[in-house]
Amino acid sequence: THVPAMLEMAGVPYTGSSPLGHGLTDDKVISKTLMRSCGVPTPNFRVMRSGTESTEGLRFPVVVKPRHEDNSFGLQLVHEPAKLTQAVEMIITQYAQDALVEEYIDGREIHVALLGNREIEVLPAVEHDFGGGQTRLMTWEVKYMDAAALPRMCPAQVESSLATLLQDIAVATFRACQCRDYARVDLRIDRSGQPFV
CATH number at residue 144: 3.30.470.20
Same domain for 91 and 63: yes
Other Cβ atoms less than 10 A from the Cβ of 135: the count is 11
The more confident residue out of 90 and 135 is: 90
Same domain for 73 and 134: no
Rounded mean pLDDT of 115-136?
86
Say if strands 181-190 and 76-78 run parallel, antiparallel, or are unpaired: unpaired
Same domain for 74 and 116: no
Q: Under DSSP, is residue 120 helix (H, G, I), strand (E, B) or coil?
A: strand
Residue 92 lies in a domain: yes
Same domain for 141 and 87: no
What sign results for the dihedral spanned by CA atoms 181, 127, 38, 42? Answer: negative
CA 190, CA 105: separation in Å to the nearest integer? 6
pTM of the full structure:
0.87
Residue 32 lies in a domain: no
**Summary mean pLDDT of the chain:** 90
CA 71, CA 83: separation in Å to the nearest integer? 23
Same domain for 91 and 65: yes
pLDDT the model gives residue 145: 62
Same domain for 122 and 98: no
pLDDT the model gives residue 135: 61
Residue 40 lies in a domain: no
Residue 158 lies in a domain: yes
pLDDT exceeds cutoff 80 at 141: no
pLDDT exceeds cutoff 70 at 133: no
Measured in residues, the chain has a length of 197
Which helix or strand (DSSP H or E) is residue 33 part of? Answer: helix 28-37
Which helix or strand (DSSP H or E) is residue 185 part of? Answer: strand 181-190
pLDDT the model gives residue 128: 84
Q: How far apart are the first and last CA of the chain?
A: 21
- Reported as a pLDDT band with limits 50, 70 and 90, residue 171 is very high
Same domain for 142 and 112: yes
Same domain for 59 and 11: no
- Reported as a pLDDT band with limits 50, 70 and 90, residue 134 is low
| CA angle in degrees (0–180, nearest 5) for 125-130-136 | 100
CA 137 centroid distance within chain: 11
Q: How does pLDDT run across 42-79, given as a tens digit for each residue?
A: 999 999 998 778 888 899 999 999 999 877 788 899 99
Q: Which domain holds residue 167?
A: 2-27+106-196
How many domains is the chain built from?
2
Same domain for 124 and 80: no
What sign results for the dihedral spanned by CA atoms 102, 164, 123, 131? Answer: positive
